[in-house]
A and B are shown apart, each in its own frame.
Chain A
Amino acid sequence: MNGYASAGVAVVLTGVALAVGIYLVAIGDRLLASLVGGGGIGWRTAVVRPAQRATLLLLQQRLTTEPSDAPGWALAPAFFLALAAVALAMVPVARGRAAADPATGFVVFSAAIALVMIAVFLHGWSPDAALPLHGAYRYGAQALSFQIPFLLAMLAAALPAQSLSIVDIVAAQDTVWNVIRTPLGLPLFLIVGASVSSWGPVNLADAADIAGGTSAEDSGVGRLLWQTARYGMLVAVAAMGGALFLGGWWGPLLPGPFWVILKTVVLLLAFLAAGHLLARVRTETFVVVSWAVLIPLALVNIFFTGAFLL
């Protein structure tokens, strides 16, 4: 039962979902910042400020460095945002329905996550400046380390459905959610999800200690697009996490789409809270833990899922 919505519907649906999600992240981040840091702000301010800031960035000059790779610099955020849209389009929105549901949705999503490395590296490399380049290489180390545990965690989620279609994977969770069948899958998925969005404790590429890392030289619309793309990737990952591990559209009483949105929002809140409550992880710690701890754990996770299915 694989298929696609018509192109127009798919583009509009994905675009609207992405835009709304990105704006909700911007609002939620502000509210949480004032909750944790004090100096409360009102709802009105929290809702209007992101739009004002975006407008300000639109009006600002977009500076470049003299020896920059201009096409690369311009393309990186667009590519990143496109990857977020592709990832989001794979997420089922209601029983048996997704904007795009190819038989290999799982592979498409994983490929989008893997290709983020190209976008981040291009973004850090093209200004030809020390701090962005530093961030780019850090992301290289980070992405190479999380790729294997990430795929193993995803595979464990696909195992019960015996299918690589995301809709089938969600449909197979009608009785038991994957979060129970593959208990380590969701934590692993969330670590990777935050990493690809350069978010919170695992934000190494755009880190504070390198003054914003790959985006240290960004200004104007370039900065706006890059931050938007990061938020967009966070939304896509949260939505996919809800589908793969929290049973997607399944839930009592209320209609499927409501549950999809609710689960996405819950995971987004987890991401936002982690961003304000957890300290930055050292690059070395991240790499060592990925290879030495997360890969074995992800294998154990697959064995556990297999045993559960037997």
Chain B
Amino acid sequence: MGLSAALRAFAAGAEAPIFAIAGLGARDAVQDLRLRRELRLVDSPRSASILLVAGVVPEALAEAVARAHDAMPRPRASVRWHLDEAAPGGAESLRASVSASATDDVVAVVRRTFVELINGARDSEPAILPDVDPAPWRGVGPFGQGGSGMTGGRPFGRPMAEMGDDRDGLRLDVLPLTVGPFFTRLPAGLTLELRLAGDLVDEASLFPNPFAGAAVPASRLRPALRPFIRALSEPVPIRELELARARAHLRWLADALVAQQLESLGRRTLALAAHMMPDDLARVQALGRALRRTQVYRWSLADVGRLDGSRLEHLGAGPVARAAGLTEDARTDDPAYRALGFEPVVQSAGDTAARWKQRLLETMQALDLAARAGELRTEPSGRIEGPRGLLTLDSAPSDRLAPLVPALLAGLEWSDALAALISLDLDLEESAAVQPAAERTVA
């Protein structure tokens, strides 16, 4: 064996660096990969060898997937992971040399692909998109400078800084920047259009939900969402609902922690979320204490992204509203919950730290309810309190929170803006599952 082959065999023992894109139905499954030691989920395709495209990815995102693919250094490969074997669905154009089905062990498939790729048994994949300038240079000078309009203000297809309004006495250039749809700290599909003045967000707006438009059958949704969708139209055991709620909150926390550079604690949270039972209350409390010791409430999140109760009234914004002092909770209308003596937990601060604490408190409350619920079932009424707020047959809390985003982020530093946005827990999949009948088209 030559030196090069020996080196390659040695390198193949490393954790496979993967950039994962979680489509419909795949968010939790992809998140769980963080618990596997054989893989490493990386923040940027630049540091990945494998692109994992999981679940249903709509045609609207196909080009972005291709761009993520082409941004990976060679040797590279992509793995397509179908979670719903009966109806794979999604964009036709997403070819992949390797695919895994719901019944396959995806980690084994990825590992095998990675090892073959590194030891040379598998060829590196060529680029999907043609290598052309996004905007041809139109300058007149010898170095492409000058001329009228140049490339329409976008040299090399990149936006140039423009003059912005005076914000706080300091007139800065404003840089337009699109974050998403696969920005690693946000749910896949969420795209944010920003105008940054230095590191301040001058203006922010959200792109429309790429998953909306086609009716999503319940079998395609990620399993964690299904109890709440079912509860809209049929009685569901409270124990099941509250466990799903507690898990959803901790899964959110596991991701939010990574954005605060607490990846290890995030992994611990995720491990807890994945197998949570009502008797895990003590472990959640211990997690809460560990969280407090990281000072995250004091020097990372305090006073960041405050939302007044007055702006949240009657939005059914769940934990976000209750963190700002509102007592809105659809569970108070349900006789089964009333029988359990349910009272919403409420805080007053309304900032990002309060939203974090609120979710942790509601996790503990949910575990307590689950432990006491016995065989009690909800009464179906077409509205249910989901983990993110009021869910009805035709609207989800994320749709009602999204219009608040531009005003919430404006004027914040990017890191604060991101923390505030994450703390809203926008869920594109949940929105797609319960959209108004008029907006649905046949899949």
A interface residues with partner B (beta carbon < 8 Å) = 32-33, 36-39, 41, 45, 48-49, 51-53, 55-56, 58-63, 66-67, 128, 130, 134, 137-138, 200-201, 203, 207-212, 216-220, 223, 275-285
Q: Are A36 and B268 in contact (CB under 8 A)?
A: yes
Is the beta-carbon distance between B414 and A134 smaller than 8 angstroms? yes
Q: In the complex the two chains form, is B47's CB within 8 Å of A208's CB?
A: no
Which positions in B face A, CB cutoff 8 Å? 7-8, 10-15, 17, 35, 37, 43-44, 46-47, 49, 71, 73-75, 118, 133, 155-156, 158, 175, 177, 183-185, 198-199, 258-268, 271, 293-296, 299-300, 304, 413-416, 418-419
Find out whether the CB atom of B268 lies under 8 angstroms from the CB atom of A37: yes
Is the beta-carbon distance between A62 and B73 smaller than 8 angstroms? yes
Q: Which 5 A-B pairs have the closest CB atoms?
A: A37-B264, A37-B267, A279-B296, A52-B14, A36-B264
B265 pairs with A201, CB closer than 8 A: no
Partner of B267, one of A38, A41, A66, A130: A38
Q: Is the CB of B14 within 8 A of A53?
A: yes
In the bound complex, do residue B260 and residue A67 qualify as a contact, i.e. CB atoms below 8 Å apart? no
Residue of A nearest to B74 (CB): A61
* Contact in complex: A37, B413 (CB < 8 Å): no
- Write out the residue numbers on chain B whose beta carbons fall within 8 Å of the beta carbon of A275: 261
Q: A76: shortest Cβ distance to chain B, in Å?
A: 16
Report the separation of the CA atoms of residues A41 and B414 in the bound assembly, to the nearest whole angstrom.
35
**Interface residue from A59, A203, A220 paired with B8 (Cβ < 8 Å):** A59
Measured CB to CB, the nearest residue on chain A to B10 is A55
Check B299–A279 contact: CB distance below 8 A.
Answer: yes
- Chain B residues lying within 8 Å of A137, measured Cβ to Cβ, are 198-199
CA distance A203 to B7 in the complex (A): 32
**Could you say which residues of chain A place their CB within 8 Å of the CB of B262?**
276, 279-280
Say whether B199 contacts A283, CB under 8 Å.
yes
Residue of A48, A59, A280, A284 near B413 (CB, 8 A) is A284
The contact sample of 17 A-B pairs, CB cut-off 8 A, is A37-B264, A56-B49, A60-B49, A61-B74, A200-B261, A208-B258, A208-B261, A209-B414, A210-B414, A210-B415, A212-B44, A276-B265, A279-B294, A280-B260, A280-B415, A282-B299, A282-B416
Q: Which of A275, A280, A284 has the most CB of B within 10 A?
A: A280
Known contacts A52-B13, A211-B43; decide if A60 and B259 are in contact (CB<8 Å): no
Chain A residues positioned under 8 Å from B185 (CB to CB) = 208-209, 211
Which of B37, B44, B185 is most buried by chain A, counting CB atoms within 10 A of its CB? B44
Is the Cβ of B175 less than 8 Å from the Cβ of A130? Answer: yes
Known: A59-B118, A219-B73. A211 touches B264 (CB 8 A): no
Interchain CB contact under 8 A, B261 and A207: yes
Query: Roughly how many angstroms separate A27 CA and B369 CA in the complex, as a whole number?
Result: 43
Residues on the A chain within 8 Å of B266, using CB: 37
B47 contacts A218, C-beta separation under 8 Å:
yes
Contact between chains at B11 and A130 (CB < 8 Å): no
Partner of B259, one of A33, A209, A278: A209
- A91-B262 Cα distance, complex, nearest whole Å: 32
Residues of A within 8 A of B265 (CB): 36-37, 276-277
Question: Do residues A207 and B415 form an inter-chain contact, with CB atoms below 8 A?
Answer: yes
**Which of A63, A66, A220, A282 neighbours the largest number of chain B CB atoms within 10 Å of its CB?**
A282
Shortest beta-carbon distance from B276 to chain A in Å: 14
Q: Name which residue of chain A comes closest to B177, CB basis.
A: A130
Is there contact, CB below 8 Å, between B73 and A285?
A: no
**B46 adjacent to A219 (CB under 8 Å):** yes
Q: Do the beta carbons of A217 and B46 come within 8 Å of each other?
A: yes
* A32 cross-chain contacts in B, Cβ below 8 A: 264
Please determine whether B46 and A209 come into contact, CB atoms closer than 8 angstroms: no
**Contact present for B44 and A211 (CB under 8 Å):** yes
B300 touches A279 (CB 8 A): yes
Residues of B within 8 A of A37 (CB): 263-268, 271
Q: Say yes or no: A209 contacts B415, CB within 8 Å.
A: yes
Q: Give the distance in Å from the alpha carbon of A201 to the alpha carbon of B415 in the complex.
A: 13
A56 to B260, CA, bound (A): 28
The CB with the most chain B CB atoms within 10 A, among A37, A38, A58, A281, is that of A37
Question: B418 CB to closest chain A CB, in angstroms?
Answer: 5
Q: Given known contacts A60-B49, A67-B155, what 20 new A-B pairs fall within 8 Å (CB)? A: A33-B267, A39-B35, A39-B271, A48-B13, A49-B14, A52-B10, A52-B11, A56-B118, A61-B73, A62-B73, A63-B71, A208-B185, A208-B260, A211-B185, A219-B47, A275-B261, A276-B263, A277-B293, A278-B294, A283-B413
